[in-house]
Amino acid sequence: MKNRINKAVFAAALLPLLAGAALASADVQVDQQQAGKPKAVSTSVDNASDSAFASDLKGAQDLLNGLSHERKLPPKQSAEYIAKEMERAREFFKYAKSTLAPHSLALVKMMKDPEGMTAKGKEMVEKDPASWQGYDYLATGTMLKQDAPGAIGYFEKALAAAPDFQKDWYRYMLAACYNAQKEPAKALETYEGIIVRNDNWFAVKNSYIGASMMLLGKDDAKAVAYFDKGFLLYTPGEQAVLKRGKLCGKFKSLEKGPAACAQTN
């Protein structure tokens, strides 16, 4: 019998990636419409000409400031650490806008047609055996058909073929499959590896929340800390959705839950 994957959980996992892709697509369209017109000088450091991900960059900076304080880094070392990590974050969001957004939007258009999605993926990898996009279509379509073992095989191939900035997204999706196969230790190890690397910020913020849910009842203090760190990385709109959802309710029995949930508990 196939290990079944809850579609609502899968959709929730993809939401931040797809929302970011939609914003980036809108930003690209504005850029195209403004082509040839005089451009105003931007004074915003956070935008870095990528307004679609300004909120994501602000969240990354807030998290890095907190991590620096947590690690008690001296001022000079803290400034160097934050500057280095923020440069990496900007490079990731530049990649997300140019490459990840178009691919993700194409995927979401086929979410209601998993058979069509897998057929498209098969066609893509037949033309190019190194097509990470093709393996993503195959993996996502297979996951939508609630076949965790099959999805794992394709996500592993996507991971092997993907550019560095994309690899941790597939590790994150593999963690969801490990959960479906009742391998929580393997899933948690995967989440925490993604958090340590800080390569793909979409995967990082989802992994903080995923790891938090897995640690609840086992290491409550760490679960709370992970939730608050992940929450910082979500955009204001995504944060509002999280607060309205059921996740904050899972901490109600704790004496001290996440600060992010204070207004809902």
Q: What are the tens digits of pLDDT across the range 180-215?
A: 888 999 999 999 999 999 999 999 999 999 999 999
Tokens representing 70?
């947590």
pLDDT tens-digit profile of 61-99?
999 999 999 999 999 999 999 999 999 999 999 998 889
Which CATH code is given to the segment(s) 167-252?
1.25.40
CA 136 to CA 138: how far, in whole Å?
A: 5
What does the alpha-carbon distance between residue 184 and residue 203 come to, in Å, rounded to a whole number? 18
Instruction: Specify whether the CB–CB gap between 28 and 101 falls below 8 A.
Output: yes
Buried/exposed code over 59-83 (b: 16+ C-beta within 10 A; e: otherwise): bbbebbeebbeeeeeeeeebeeebe
Please state, in angstroms and rounded to a whole number, the distance separating the CA atoms of residues 208 and 196: 10
pLDDT score for 10: 55
What are the angstrom distances between the C-alpha of 180 and each of 1, 48, 84, 151, 177?
Answer: 12, 39, 36, 11, 5
- Residue 51 pLDDT grade (very low, low, confident, very high; cuts 50, 70, 90): low
Instruction: Show me where the domains of the chain are located.
Output: 52-108, 111-162, 167-252
